Amino acid sequence: MNYFQFLFRSSNQHGVHSPFVFNYLTKGLYRPYRNTYSRKKHFIEQTIQYFQPDNIVDFRTEKITDLPETIDLVIIRSNQLETSDFPNFIDSFHNDTTGIIDCRNLAEKRLAEKLLQHPKITVVLHFYWYIVFFVRKEQQKELFFLRL
């Protein structure tokens, strides 16, 4: 999907009917900033600050080795992760696990598509440059296209 198609399909907090997603957008991401570039730059930091996870695994800098029993937040970049590694870390997901996929190229978008088809992942927020997913047993599978 190119950027213009994304803009046409996406919405902001007013197009979201999920209270969980609405609160994340309005209280976590849509706080006032001087320009839109800072929103993109601080996206991951804002997400960490909003959810305050205990166990963070950052696959942009770490290899898949000694994973914690449970993962509260995972940050993924495809050059550090292969499709065969999915079972290794998806087993560590629990209810309320949050994931951020940094989608900068086509390979990363393909990786995201495969990961998001997993039955544990129920809520997906597509922000064009980033995809955020959640494991939430109390919510049905939903996909939102949202603008920062």
Q: What are residue 23's phi and psi, to 5 degrees? A: -65, -40
Report the sign of the C-alpha dihedral through residues 123, 91, 105, 58, in that order: positive
pLDDT at 95: 92
Beta strand 130-134 pairing with 123-126:
antiparallel
Please give the average per-residue pLDDT across 116-121, as a whole number. 87
Q: Which residue has the higher pLDDT, 139 or 66?
A: 139
Give tens-digit pLDDT for 47-70.
Answer: 999 999 999 988 776 666 677 888
Q: Return d(Cα 101, Cα 112) in angstroms, integer.
A: 7
Distance of CA 61 to the CA centre of its chain: 17
pTM metric for this prediction: 0.83
pLDDT at 7: 84
Please give the average per-residue pLDDT across 116-123, as a whole number. 88
Give tens-digit pLDDT for 2-52.
Answer: 888 888 888 777 777 788 988 988 888 877 665 555 666 788 888 999 999
Q: What single DSSP character describes residue 91?
A: T
pLDDT at 132: 92
Side by side, the strands of the sheet bearing 93-102 are 56-58, 71-76, 93-102, 130-134, 123-126, 142-145
Q: What single DSSP character describes residue 28?
A: I
Structural domains counted in the chain: 1
CB 56 within 8 A of CB 44: no
Give tens-digit pLDDT for 77-115.
Answer: 766 565 555 666 788 889 999 999 888 777 777 777 877
CB 118 within 8 A of CB 101: no
Place of tokens 């209810």: 95
Q: Return d(Cα 43, Cα 103) in angstroms, integer.
A: 13
Range of the domain at 97: 3-61+70-145
C-beta neighbour count of 123 within 10 angstroms: 20
pLDDT at 37: 55
